[in-house]
Amino acid sequence: MSLDATVWAWKATVSGASERLVLLALADRAGDDHKCFPSIKRLEKDTTLNRKTIIKVLDELELKKLIKFTGEIKGNGVKVYQLIGVFGREDYSDTSTKKGTSTKNGTGVNLGTSSKNGTSTNNGTGTSPNFGTETSTNFGTQNLPSNLPLESKNKKDWLCLKKLRWELDQADPTVVPKSIIEASWFEREKRAFELFNVDKDLCDDLLIYHFADTLLRNRHKYDKAQNGKSSGESDSVFFSSPQQIYVFANKLAQLPDVIDEFSMPGESFEKLTSRIAAKLSDPNELQNWKSHLQAVGFKSKQNRKVA
């Protein structure tokens, strides 16, 4: 636990209680280097927030430049985050070795135009990486990532698949996001979308929002073409009765992969089963569930309706 990180988390500018709660939980798990790596399950227990809310809040905190994914992974795929802007108490103490009456400030050699203050690389107005006003990477007003608008200019990393899945599910709950993202035509649509928006100053979130609409709007032409080619395929999925749909919907609702991808916060087992049954009742959506159905024992037979 880092007291400095906790104090910083209380003072940080956030948009709501959920962001404050997650930020405090991260600070509580931070070490002396102000890095932390609590799992999503750990954050669920610490904050009592649901999984989807925590993932959404972590993305928002990254956009606000309050935390940053270091690229490190711990244990079973747990991300390591760096808390941005946390300073130790010695940085603010009047009698510390960095300020006040120490040998590094006052009338010593570290003020004025020396290498520690003034035009220094720490607190100066020149090229300081901490408090400068020119090329500073933390608090400056020029070339500063945290002060720049969220325009992506179509940079290569604008697309976040997790956010795209969420947008697709919000726009059309009957859609299986995985079936669209893993479709053979997905990259083709992505390239066309990037070319169309290359001169537009849109933030990443807006690009993802519009890309989801584009995918939903255009998928039908691919589905139509695919259905025309595969109308006689032997592995098409069919159910012989509504009862069989509910039997397999019940099985799918117990499948960990399905729960993780399709369950809504606070949703009961019965409600999830009903939503899956609705998707299985749609002939177009049914084919997208083929792999999940096979995982729970479904077998298709040529030219026959089977379960």
Residues 14 and 77 in one domain: yes
Residue at 136 is within a domain: no
Residue at 268 is within a domain: yes
Residue at 102 is within a domain: no
Residue at 95 is within a domain: no
Residues 20 and 67 in one domain: yes
Final residue in a domain of this structure, among 68, 83, 98 = 83
Query: Residue 159: which region, alpha, beta or left (left: phi > 0; alpha: psi -120 to 50)?
Result: beta
pLDDT, tens only, 290-305: 888 888 888 765 434 4
Residues 79 and 8 in one domain: yes
Q: Looking at the 3D structure of the chain, how many domains does it have?
A: 3
Residue at 288 is within a domain: yes
Neighbours of 300 (CB within 10 A): 17
Tell me, what CATH number does 51's domain have?
1.10.10.10
pLDDT, tens only, 211-234: 999 999 888 878 766 665 554 444
CA distances (Å), origin 40, targets 43, 53, 127, 153, 264: 5, 10, 38, 31, 16
Residues 42 and 9 in one domain: yes
DSSP, residue by residue, the chain = --HHHHHHHHHS--SSHHHHHHHHHHHHT--TTSEE---HHHHHHHH---HHHHHHHHHHHHHTTSEEEEEEEETTTEEEEEETT---GGGT-TTSSSSTTSTTSTTSTTSTTSSSSSSSSSSSSSS-SSS-SSS-SSS-SSS-GGGS--B-TT-TT---HHHHHHHHHHH-TTS-HHHHHTSTTHHHHHHHHHHHTTT---BHHHHHHHHHHHHHHHHHHHHHHHHHHSTT-TT----SSHHHHHHHHHHHTT-HHHHHHHPPTT--HHHHHHHHHHHHTSHHHHGGGHHHHHHTT---BTTB---
Given a contact cutoff of 8 angstroms between Cβ atoms, the answer to whether 161 and 168 are in contact is no
Final residue in a domain of this structure, among 185, 203, 229 = 229
Q: In the numeric block, which tokens belong to residue 196?
A: 């169309």
Neighbours of 158 (CB within 10 A): 19
CA dist 51 and 40 (Å) reads 7
Given a contact cutoff of 8 angstroms between Cβ atoms, the answer to whether 15 and 63 are in contact is no
pLDDT, tens only, 238-270: 777 788 888 888 889 888 888 888 888 888 888
Residues 209 and 256 in one domain: no
Q: In the numeric block, which tokens belong to residue 249?
A: 């919907």
Q: Which residues pair with 79 in a beta bridge?
A: 73
Residue at 93 is within a domain: no
Final residue in a domain of this structure, among 50, 83, 116 = 83
Tens digit of each residue's pLDDT, the chain (307 residues): 678 888 888 989 998 888 999 999 998 888 888 899 999 999 999 899 999 999 999 999 999 999 999 999 988 889 999 999 887 655 544 444 444 444 444 444 444 444 444 444 444 444 444 444 444 444 443 444 444 444 444 455 789 999 999 999 888 888 889 889 998 889 999 998 988 888 888 898 989 999 999 999 888 878 766 665 554 444 566 777 788 888 888 889 888 888 888 888 888 888 888 888 888 888 777 778 888 888 888 876 543 443 3
Residue at 94 is within a domain: no
Residue at 124 is within a domain: no
What is the residue range of 191's domain?
A: 161-229
